[in-house]
Amino acid sequence: MATSFDPRTFKNFINGDWVSARSGKTFENRNPANRHELVGHFPASDASDVDAAVDAAKAAYDKWRLTPAPRRAEILYRVAQHLIARKEDFARAMTQEMGKVLDETRGDVQEAIDMTYLMAGEGRRQFGVTTPSELPSKFAMAVRAPIGVAGLITPWNFPMAIPSWKIMPALICGNTMVLKPAEDTPLSTYHLTYAMQEAGLPPGVLNVVFGDGPGAGAPILRHRDVHLVSFTGSTEVGRLVSEACAPKFKKCHLEMGGKNIIVVMDDANLDLAIEGALWGAFGTTGQRCTAASRIAVHKKVYGAFAEKFVERAKALKVGDGLITGTQMGPCINEQQLGTVMKYVEIGVKEGAKLAAGGHRLEKGALAYGWFHEPTVFTDCDPKMRICQEEIFGPVASLIPFGSFDEAIAIANGVNYGLSASVYTHDVNHSFRALRDLQTGIVYINAPTIGAEVHLPFGGIKNTGNGHRESGTAALDFYSDWKTLYIDYSDKLQRAQIDTGE
């Protein structure tokens, strides 16, 4: 098995075999903490590779859907065991290709393990419903049915966890699939796929094509034999995915951007809120759809909070995530670093006070990576672009407010609706926040990140289109409800007409 420390040319996984892109073209995967360090070469797939992958998934579908769900689950249990055995290796390789610190990549692999075990358990729990018929001698029930070939497109920030969110429920429901991971983090998907092959997944059930969005992603969306699509990424690309799926009425799941907020009330435990805000804003270098890029603080405690938060942000150790003591890694690539730098300029021009950071880091050991300082703007107006638009980097904006109602209005005053958090000891404020915040996820006295796999994950407004990842809610996307009637009366009975009166 190839590892990230043994750079070589990796291959697509189609119909149970590792194969090169038909064009022979490859792309480089490099370490964002040191762009001179090559992780490996991966196939630059195109429509011909996608066609082969979809053909394999289509051919494998009938046998897989007829495999009893508990038997499918046994394979997933073995996958989880393989991931456990290689967790440390996979985490270190993920840090090398993605940049986030080792504790976080260990958590990423663990999330894939948790999701795999969860969905394996659903192999015996895909419950339907039985209900009394309104007619005599008639039986009525509803069951889940698989849909067909799933097209899965995943991002780079959680390169093993998010693929597992899609692969595992799709598999346990009886679908086959073609996965295209982000071109910035192909190695982690390779490792996950390898574990699934080792666990005995039949050929064609999971197929993986590496490459970029136009070359490998778009052909998946357009393919006539792809029946459902699940996409995680930016809102802008998600809109294109939706438009591509619409002409054929493909079932489409979109998990997109966020502009999440932490609200700190005047009765909050400030030290706890600061810890949560630091983790929410700068965990994964702020490159999370759940990152807390807005922190609204009650005016009574704003000064004390801002002083401590800025001090702690300045003290964060930035560097290679494999080095012990590193607290924040690099941006994923030059383009993302450029986006962060652009928004810092926007914030300054808008009149926000740059209280910490604001610059690219390029001295010493950081010279060859895509590093940016943890950045804090204070005294922000909630209508500023840095408080409205997703930055996806280590930039936090502090916003003062005077009342709980004002805080809720600030929180809801964006186009996104993924995650929100309130720090307070007031039970009334807590329950009003749970009711009134326009997000799919709400935390009380915890940051905006840290979802658990057995609960639904997703948002509203420009964050999502109504479907959810994780938990049993994921089964609703990867299966269709089929309603079944068995009439054993031996005569014609008409619902709503033959009422017996």
Query: Does 208 share its domain with 151?
Result: yes
What element of type H or E holds 283? Answer: none
Which tens digits make up the pLDDT trace of 198-257? Answer: 999 999 999 999 999 999 999 999 999 999 999 999 999 999 999 999 999 999 999 999
- Segments of 173-247 assigned E as strands: 176-180, 206-208, 228-232
pLDDT confidence of residue 501: 59
Are 250 and 220 a contacting pair, CB within 8 Å? no
pLDDT digits (tens, 9 = 90+) for 280-306: 999 999 999 999 999 999 999 999 999
Q: Are residues 265 and 411 in the same domain?
A: yes
Which pLDDT tens digit goes with each residue over 98-144? Answer: 999 999 999 999 999 999 999 999 999 999 999 999 999 999 999 99
Instruction: Give 297-304's long-range contacts (Cβ < 8 A, gap of 24+).
Output: 297/264, 297/398, 297/399, 297/400, 297/401, 298/264, 298/265, 298/266, 298/268, 298/400, 298/401, 298/402, 298/407, 299/400, 299/401, 299/402, 300/266, 301/264, 301/266, 301/268, 301/270, 302/398, 302/400, 304/270
pLDDT at position 8: 84
Q: What is the mean pLDDT of the chain?
A: 96
Same domain, 396 and 474: no
CATH number at residue 423: 3.40.309.10
* Whether the Cβ atoms of residue 287 and residue 337 lie closer than 8 Å to each other: no
198 is catalytic: no
295 and 410 together in one domain: yes
pLDDT at position 7 is 61
What's the distance, Cα to Cα, between the start and end of the chain in Å?
Answer: 72
Please give the pLDDT value at position 6. 54
Are residues 242 and 130 part of one domain? Answer: yes
Pairing of strands 294-298, 353-356: unpaired
Quick one: average pLDDT of 375-393?
Answer: 98
Q: Is the dihedral of CA 262, 263, 266, 267 positive or negative?
A: negative
CA–CA dist 425, 447 (Å, integer): 15
Both 289 and 387 in one domain: the answer is yes
Both tokens assigned to 316: 């964060």
Residue 150 covered by a domain: yes
Q: For residue 162, which of 284, 77, 41, 54 has the smallest C-alpha distance?
A: 284
Q: How far is CA 30 from the centre of its chain?
A: 22
> CA 442: distance to chain centroid?
17
217: DSSP letter:
I
Whole-number pLDDT of residue 28 = 96
Pairwise CA distance, residues 86 & 240, whole Å: 37
Q: Span 368-375, mean pLDDT?
A: 98
CATH label of the domain that carries residue 155: 3.40.605.10
Q: Do 185 and 306 lie in a common domain?
A: no
Residue 452, C-beta contacts closer than 8 angstroms, at least 6 positions apart: 470
pTM for the full predicted model: 0.95
Residue 185 included in any domain:
yes
In this structure, are 161 and 252 located in the same domain? Answer: yes
Instruction: Say whether 362 is catalytic.
Output: no
CB 397 within 8 A of CB 295: yes
Q: Which percentage of the chain shows pLDDT scores above 70?
A: 98
Look at residue 452 and tell me if it is in a domain. Answer: no
User: 5 CB contacts (<8 Å, ≥6 apart)?
Assistant: 93, 96
In tens, the pLDDT along 305-345 reads 999 999 999 999 999 999 999 999 999 999 999 999 999 99
Question: Are 205 and 121 in the same domain?
Answer: yes
Whether 16 maps to a domain, the answer reads: no
pLDDT at 430: 98
**pLDDT computed for residue 431 by the predictor:** 98
Residues forming beta bridges with residue 31, ordered by sequence position:
34
Q: Looking at the structure, do residues 415 and 283 belong to the same domain, yes or no? A: yes
Domain residue limits at 178: 38-256+464-483
Q: What does the DSSP 8-state code read for residue 215?
A: I
- Is 498 inside a domain boundary? no
Q: Are residues 240 and 271 in the same domain?
A: no
Is residue 407 a part of any domain in this protein? yes
Instruction: Give which of 449, 443, 358 is closest to 397, Cα–Cα.
Output: 358
Q: Residues 371-381: what's their mean pLDDT?
A: 98
Model confidence pLDDT, tens digit, residues 447-457: 999 899 999 99
- 10 Å Cβ neighbour count for 189? 26
- Please tell me which residue in 104, 122, 255, 469 is annotated as part of the active site: 255
**202 domain-assigned:** yes
pLDDT at 264 over 70: yes
Identify the active-site residue in 245, 252, 289, 387: 289
Same domain, 391 and 477: no
Instruction: Classify residue 455: in a domain, yes or no.
Output: no
CB atoms under 10 Å from CB of 495, counted, come to 12
Q: Pick left, alpha or beta for residue 157 (phi over 0 → left; psi -120 to 50 → alpha; otherwise beta).
A: alpha
Banded model confidence at residue 392, pLDDT cuts 50, 70, 90: very high
User: How would you write 429-496 as a 3-class SS string?
Assistant: HHHHHHHHCCCCEEEECCCCCCCCCCCCECCEECCECCCCECCCHHHHHCCEEEEEEEECCCCCCCCC
With beta carbons less than 8 A apart as the criterion, state whether 14 and 43 touch: no
Q: What is the pLDDT at residue 216?
A: 98
Q: Which of 187, 265, 209 is nearest to 52 (CA)?
A: 209
Single out the residue of 447, 59, 76 nearest to residue 258, CA to CA. Answer: 447
Q: Answer whether residue 186 shows pLDDT above 90.
A: yes
Distance CA 359, CA 368 (A): 15
Number of domains in the chain: 2
